[in-house]
A and B are shown apart, each in its own frame.
Chain A
C-alpha cells in the first residue's frame, strides 16, 4: 500500500462520517460501559483492600482459649491465657516473626472536658501502630518506645472519641481521666475505612503504653498477641509454631485447636482477593459481552455501508482498484470509526471515574458508598479494553470488507 492511499481513504471517510455516526456511537457506548465496569470492579477490590488494611495487613492475632483435649494427665477444659513473657518467648524461638506486639484491654469510664463516656482502653507498645494501621492526624503522634518503656501517662485516641469528648476542638495536649488517673492526649487517629474489627472500630478506641495501662488494670493478662510475619507466605507456619510452643509452655496438645485461637488476616485477604478478582472478571465479562452486542451492530452497519457503496466499489474496481485496496479501505474506515468511538468513550469514562472520585466518602459508617464511589482507572484497564475492542472491531470490519471486495464489478456498476 502506498502512502497516498490511506490519505485518500481518510478523505473519503471524512466525507461520509455523518453516515457512520451511529456506528461511532455504538463503539463509544461499548467502550464507555466496559471501561466503567472495569473501573468500578477494580475500585471495589482496592477499596476492600484499603478497608481491610484498616485493621491491619499481613496480621496474625493470637488469642487464649480453653483446652479441648486431655494432655499429659491434665483434664480438658483448662483455660489458657497469654502473658507478657510470651512475647519474648515466641520471638526468640520463631525467626519468621517480623514484629510481635501485646495487647490488653478493658472497658472503663473516661472523662474529660466535663463529659463522661465509657470506652475500651487498650495497653500496647509502639509497634502496634505499624501492625494495626494507626496513623495519627496532623499535629499528633502514636505511642513511641520511650512512652512504653517509661510507662508515660499518655494516650492515643480514636477520632470518634475525640469528637465525643471535645467536640471539634484541638485535642492534642488535653487531659483525659481514666480510672481517676490523668493521661495526656498525644495523638488522634486519622480517619480510615475499616471493615474488620474485634472491639468496635478503631475510631472508638483509646490506646495507652502497656506499662501505664497496668496502673488501671493490674491483671497482667494479655487479651491478644499481634504477629506480623517477615513473609506473608509464612503465616500458616507461624501459626503452627506458635501453637506448638505455647502448648509446650502451657502444656496442651499441639493438635488442640481450641487452646489458643488465631485470626489470620493474610488468609482472609487471600480468600477475599479471590472473590473480588471473581467480581472484577465478571464485570469485565459483562462489559465485553455488551461490547460484543455493539460489535454485532457494527458488523451489521458495516454490511449496510458496504451495500450502499456497491456502485462506488464497482466504479473503483472498473478503473483498476485491486481487491485488497477495497479491503484496506474498509478496514481503515473501521479503524477510523473505532479510534473515534473509543477515544470519546475513553475520555468520557475517564472523566466520569474522576468526577465520582471527587465525592467525599464518610468514614463514620462502612457503607456501600465507600466501595462504589472509588472507581479506579488504570493503564491495564485501558489496554485490556483496547485489545478487546480491537479484536471485535477487526472481526466486525473484515467480513463486510471481504464481501465488498469480492463483488463483481459489472454487477456493482449496475447497482442503483
Chain B
C-alpha cells in the first residue's frame, strides 16, 4: 500500500541546511495499523507530511498503491490527498466559519460529487460519529472531542483507503481521546490502513506495529 525507499528531506534555511529525514525506507501493508513514535525533531511530522502527499521528498521514491507519487504535480497530489488519504490533525483544523455539516461536505465538493451523494454521505458520517444533531453547529460551539469526531468524519468523506492521524488525541481529555481511539479501531477493523503519530505509549500499544524515528532515521523495528 505505502512503500518508501530511501526518502530524504532537506530543508534549506538561508545558508543552513537541515536534514529532517535521512534515508527512510518502510513498507506499510493494506489494512495495517501503524504508530509512528519518536522525540520532537526526529522527523515524525515531516514523514507524515510526505506520506500524506502534503510535501514532496528531496530524494528517494514513494510508491502509493504501486504508483510513484514523488514526481506528481501539486494538483495531482491534491487529487491524491482528496481521494486516497484522510487527515486527522492534533488541532482538528476545521473551518471556523463553516458548520459541522459543511466541514464534512468540503472534500466531496472538491471532488465534484453531486448534491445527493454528498447529502447521503454527510448524513451517514454524522450518524457514525454520533453528532447528527450537532450538524448545524460551528466548531467553536463544539467540544474538543466533538470537533475531532467531525474532523474524523471529514477525513472519511471520500472514503479514502488510508487514514493519517497526527496525534489525534493530543489535545483531548482521556474520555474524548478514548472515543476517538474507539472510532479509529473500528475503522481499522473495517479494513482501512491507519498511520498514527503519537507520543503516548498506551495509545501506540493499540496499533499492530510501532515505527520509531530518531534523528530522521528509522530505529530498527520491533513488533508490538
Also in contact, A410 and B78, with CB within 8 A (given A4-B115, A8-B109, A322-B110) = no
Q: When the two chains form the complex, which single residue of B54, B94, B96 contacts A409, counting CB atoms closer than 8 Å?
A: B54
Q: Which B residues lie within 8 Å of A409 (CB)?
A: 54
Interchain CB contact under 8 A, B54 and A410: yes
Q: When the two chains form the complex, which single residue of A12, A15, A322 contacts B78, counting CB atoms closer than 8 Å?
A: A322
Residue of B nearest to A16 (CB): B97
Q: Which B residues lie within 8 Å of A410 (CB)?
A: 49, 54-55
Digitize A322-341: 1 where CB-to-B-CB distance is under 8 Å, 0 elsewhere.
11110000000000000000
Digitize B134-156: 1 where CB-to-A-CB distance is under 8 Å, 0 elsewhere.
00000000000000000000110
Interchain CB contact under 8 A, B49 and A319: no
**In the assembled complex, how far is the CB of residue A307 from the closest CB belonging to chain B, in whole angstroms?**
15
Also in contact, A318 and B87, with CB within 8 A (given A4-B115, A410-B54) = yes
Interchain CB contact under 8 A, B75 and A323: yes
Residue of A nearest to B108 (CB): A4
Interchain CB contact under 8 A, B81 and A318: yes
A11 contacts the other chain (CB 8 A): yes
Interchain CB contact under 8 A, A321 and B95: no
**In the assembled complex, how far is the CB of residue A19 from the closest CB belonging to chain B, in whole angstroms?**
10
Also in contact, A320 and B154, with CB within 8 A (given A4-B109, A15-B97) = no
Interchain CB contact under 8 A, A318 and B54: yes
B79 contacts the other chain (CB 8 A): yes
Digitize A295-331: 1 where CB-to-B-CB distance is under 8 Å, 0 elsewhere.
0000000000000000110111111111111000000
Residue of B nearest to A317 (CB): B78
Interchain CB contact under 8 A, B89 and A2: no
B82 contacts the other chain (CB 8 A): yes
**In the assembled complex, how far is the CB of residue A11 from the closest CB belonging to chain B, in whole angstroms?**
7
Also in contact, A11 and B95, with CB within 8 A (given A4-B115, A320-B81, A320-B110) = no
- Tell me the complex Cα distance, A311–B75, Å: 19
Also in contact, A325 and B115, with CB within 8 A (given A11-B102, A15-B97, A320-B79) = no
A5 contacts the other chain (CB 8 A): yes
A413 contacts the other chain (CB 8 A): yes
Interchain CB contact under 8 A, B110 and A325: yes
Interface footprint category on B: 20 to 34
Interchain CB contact under 8 A, A321 and B78: yes
Digitize B92-108: 1 where CB-to-A-CB distance is under 8 Å, 0 elsewhere.
01111110001000110
Q: Give the residue among A16, A315, A320 with the most B Cβ atoms within 10 A.
A: A320
- Tell me the complex Cα distance, A323–B110, Å: 11
Q: Give the residue among A12, A15, A16, A319 with the most B Cβ atoms within 10 A.
A: A319
Also in contact, A319 and B98, with CB within 8 A (given A4-B109, A5-B109, A325-B110) = no
Interchain CB contact under 8 A, B55 and A319: no
- Interface residue ranges of B200-221 to A (CB < 8 Å): none
Q: When the two chains form the complex, which single residue of B78, B83, B93, B102 contacts A315, counting CB atoms closer than 8 Å?
A: B93
Q: Which A residues lie within 8 Å of B52 (CB)?
A: 318
Interchain CB contact under 8 A, A315 and B95: yes
B124 contacts the other chain (CB 8 A): no
- Tell me the complex Cα distance, A321–B82, Å: 7
Q: Which A residues lie within 8 Å of B81 (CB)?
A: 318-320
- Tell me the complex Cα distance, A331–B109, Å: 18
**In the assembled complex, how far is the CB of residue B75 from the closest CB belonging to chain A, in whole angstroms?**
5
Digitize A127-166: 1 where CB-to-B-CB distance is under 8 Å, 0 elsewhere.
0000000000000000000000000000000000000000
B66 contacts the other chain (CB 8 A): no
- Interface residue ranges of A30-59 to B (CB < 8 Å): none
- Tell me the complex Cα distance, A311–B118, Å: 24
Residue of A nearest to B154 (CB): A319
B111 contacts the other chain (CB 8 A): yes
Interchain CB contact under 8 A, A318 and B110: no
Q: When the two chains form the complex, which single residue of A5, A12, A320 contacts B98, counting CB atoms closer than 8 Å?
A: A12
- Interface residue ranges of A1-21 to B (CB < 8 Å): 2, 4-5, 8, 11-12, 15-16
A-B contacts, 19 listed (Cβ < 8 Å): A4-B115, A5-B109, A8-B102, A8-B106, A315-B93, A315-B94, A315-B95, A316-B106, A316-B110, A319-B110, A319-B154, A320-B82, A320-B83, A321-B82, A322-B74, A322-B79, A322-B110, A410-B49, A413-B54
- A residues in contact (CB < 8 Å) with B: 2, 4-5, 8, 11-12, 15-16, 311-312, 314-325, 409-410, 413
Other A-B pairs, 12, CB within 8 Å; known A319-B81, A322-B78: A2-B112, A4-B109, A4-B115, A4-B118, A11-B102, A12-B97, A315-B93, A320-B82, A320-B83, A320-B111, A323-B78, A409-B54
